[in-house]
Amino acid sequence: MKMSFLCFQLALLFYVFSASDARLFSRVNCLVSSWTSWSEPNEYGQRIRTCTILRMPSGGGFPCPHIREVKGVKPSFTLILQEFTLSFVEDYDPISDDQIAKVRDIVFILDSSGSIGLTKFNKAKADAKSLFGTLCPFDKTFDMDYNNPYQHQQLAMLTYSTTIEENFFFNTYSKTADVLQAISQATYQGLMTNTAGAFKKARNMFQTSRGARDSTKVKREVLIVTDGLSNTGGDAVAAAKELSKVADVYGLMIGKFSAAGMTELTDYVSTPASKHLFNLDDFESLTLLVEALEINKRLHPDWCASLDQD
């Protein structure tokens, strides 16, 4: 009897150790590749590196680590001002290394969702009036010359929240004062953020029936001012890609965003994103940006070249 019980204990002990060894040898740890080199800084000042999962863990093996690392410092306000001035306001031409005032048809998209609030929305409209007033030619930016329809800029505008409002088309006004006044008349909605719908409407703005000119003779551009991501359904990135087929899309993105948010906002604009996306901390920074542009206009009133439609 004692011998039988002893044999049972030994058998049980052998089974426990055997099962433990089996589990130990069946564990498969995660295996990843080496890190890539750090990327060049993006428009948010971030550098990114990644690795690839080569083997998933199993049997209780060590889990996979994070496969994406981000580091970097956001560009200074001075650098953002410089890049926005060259890329959008002065329409700097890096190929000819010259500043050329291009003839442009511009659709201005202003976020009117609840996250902005009425006070900031009204301030953004005032800043937009000042911003578009700095475009060449000064003091007569949008004044139409019926004898020469390619010697002035054109502006159309829409605001968006849950619904999209087409505030005015390219052919609604023919005087700069009227265009700038129309910006201030846009009304606040304060609901959701239908960015996908806004991009689709912007694409439809570029029609001859709405005053859009020959695309071979003008630059077609879109400038969006927003403080958040689309949240009403619809694929905003896909809509932005379709819009980019007919116009260069620029963005003044206001606020701080998650890594996923930065990725989505980057996908809203044309490439290279570093020349088309400009991230400001808050709406106060937007005001400072516009004030700096106005100072530059007063200090350098002669930088405007003749409008060039080539």
Q: Within this chain, do residues 82 and 69 fall inside the same structural domain, yes or no?
A: no
User: Would the pLDDT of 173 be above 80?
Assistant: yes
pLDDT at 151: 87
Q: Within this chain, do residues 93 and 162 fall inside the same structural domain, yes or no?
A: yes
What CA–CA distances, in Å, run from 254 to 161, 170, 265, 286? 16, 26, 11, 8
CATH number, domain of 172, equals 3.40.50.410
Average pLDDT value for residue range 167-189 = 97
Q: Within this chain, do residues 128 and 43 fall inside the same structural domain, yes or no?
A: no
Nearest-angstrom CA–CA distance, 234 and 258:
20
- Domain tally, the chain: 2
Q: Within this chain, do residues 137 and 193 fall inside the same structural domain, yes or no?
A: yes
Local confidence band at 153 (pLDDT 50, 70, 90 cut-offs): very high
> Using one digit for the tens of pLDDT, what is the confidence trace for 60-89?
899 998 888 877 677 899 999 999 998 999
- Assess if residue 145 is contained within a domain: yes
pLDDT at 16: 45
pLDDT at 1: 47
| High-pLDDT (> 70) share of the chain, % | 86
Q: Within this chain, do residues 45 and 167 fall inside the same structural domain, yes or no?
A: no
- Answer yes or no: are the C-beta atoms of 41 and 73 closer than 8 Å: no
pLDDT at 90: 82
Q: Within this chain, do residues 129 and 246 fall inside the same structural domain, yes or no?
A: yes
Where in the sequence is the domain holding 66, given as residue range(s)? Answer: 30-73
Amino acid at residue number 139: D
User: Would the pLDDT of 159 be above 80?
Assistant: yes
- Assess if residue 12 is contained within a domain: no
Q: Which of 60-69, 75-84, 101-110, 120-129 has the highest mean pLDDT?
A: 120-129
- Answer yes or no: are the C-beta atoms of 260 and 254 closer than 8 Å: no
User: Would the pLDDT of 167 be above 50?
Assistant: yes
User: 100: which 2 tokens?
Assistant: 């050329």
Nearest-angstrom CA–CA distance, 203 and 272:
20
The residue among 52, 73, 94 that closes a domain is: 73
Q: Within this chain, do residues 237 and 124 fall inside the same structural domain, yes or no?
A: yes
- Assess if residue 309 is contained within a domain: no
Average pLDDT value for residue range 84-105 = 72
Q: Within this chain, do residues 133 and 61 fall inside the same structural domain, yes or no?
A: no
- Assess if residue 199 is contained within a domain: yes
Nearest-angstrom CA–CA distance, 247 and 65:
41
Q: Within this chain, do residues 290 and 196 fall inside the same structural domain, yes or no?
A: yes
Average pLDDT value for residue range 88-92 = 81
- Assess if residue 11 is contained within a domain: no
Q: Within this chain, do residues 171 and 264 fall inside the same structural domain, yes or no?
A: yes
Burial level of 124, CB count in 10 A (0-12/13-18/19+)? buried
**Between 99 and 206, the higher pLDDT residue:** 206
Q: Within this chain, do residues 66 and 118 fall inside the same structural domain, yes or no?
A: no
- Residues 6 or more apart in contact with residue 207 via CB below 8 angstroms: none
Q: Looking at 69-73, 175-179, 211-215, 279-283, which range is the least confident one?
A: 69-73
- Assess if residue 307 is contained within a domain: no
> Using one digit for the tens of pLDDT, what is the confidence trace for 1-36?
444 544 545 444 444 445 455 455 588 999 999 999
**For tokens 């020959």, what's the residue?**
214
**What's the whole-number average pLDDT of the chain?**
87
- Assess if residue 79 is contained within a domain: yes
Closest CA to 206 of 161, 162, 155, 159: 155
Q: Within this chain, do residues 220 and 97 fall inside the same structural domain, yes or no?
A: yes
pLDDT at 258: 84
The residue among 17, 46, 73 that closes a domain is: 73
Closest CA to 78 of 299, 285, 302: 285
**Between 294 and 11, the higher pLDDT residue:** 294
- Residues 6 or more apart in contact with residue 42 via CB below 8 angstroms: 48, 266, 273, 274
- Assess if residue 23 is contained within a domain: no
The residue among 43, 73, 103 that closes a domain is: 73
